[in-house]
Amino acid sequence: MISYLTYNNLHEYGPAFPSLFRLRYRSFKERQGYAVSSYNGMEYDQYDTPATIYLVYRDEVSGEALGLSRLTPVSQCCMIKDLWPELVNDQSIFTDHDVWESTRFCVERSLPAHVRRIISNELVAAHVELGMRLGIKNIIGVMPTFILRSVFGKAGCSFEYLGGGIEVDNMLIRAAVMEITPRQLLRIRQTSQIKESVLLLNGGEYEDSKRAA
């Protein structure tokens, strides 16, 4: 199951918030060697803002993050616009208040492959579930094309490329958009064999996340 953390409800999740930055450090700085900011074994950047929502798969015992993705409204800030605008043909998407950006998608590498797939599929489904709850029209992101296919495509998610690609470290990088619709969610659930909602809701989480946006 996927929790979603905002700056209004972090106090409810104990170790989840600091541990998601440690997971990002292991995933992006240690394993992939990204030149990213870090402190005390935690990775962070300028896109961690009060507008951010973190989708987090937590360990049932420790409560620590085992998988995550970060969502931010593009009207507040947008990594693609700042770093790779040439990957998007129609730049008007960056001013659409119904479009959010997904970044820092990662899953704990030390887990067995079948567990990583479950977490990955649930995170993909959670993007659409949360998007529908918040009235998001599209979610955009930039990744190597093989990850887009093996993570989002394999989970049953339909997406379209926003423009051409660039080569980075011998990998083809492209920006893509996923439409947030009931049909998209149904396709993901059927492909990933997810039988019910993966998004955990309690108390005022939904209202808090709307205010955070």
For 60-116, write each residue's pLDDT tens digit. 999 999 999 999 999 999 999 999 999 999 999 999 999 999 999 999 999 999 999
Contact call for residues 199 and 126 (beta carbons, < 8 A): yes
Residues with pLDDT less than 50, the chain:
203-213
For a pLDDT cut of 70, what percent of the chain falls above it?
94
Question: Which domains are delineated in the chain?
Answer: 2-212 (3.40.630.30)
192 backbone φψ class: left, alpha, beta (φ>0; ψ -120 to 50): alpha
Q: What is the pLDDT of residue 202?
A: 56
Q: What letter would DSSP give residue 128? A: H
The reported pTM is 0.92
Which residues contact residue 213 at a Cβ distance below 8 angstroms, ignoring those fewer than 6 apart? 51, 53, 73, 134
Instruction: Write the DSSP string, 88-110.
Output: -S-GGGGG-TTEEEEEEEEE-TT
Contact call for residues 66 and 119 (beta carbons, < 8 A): yes
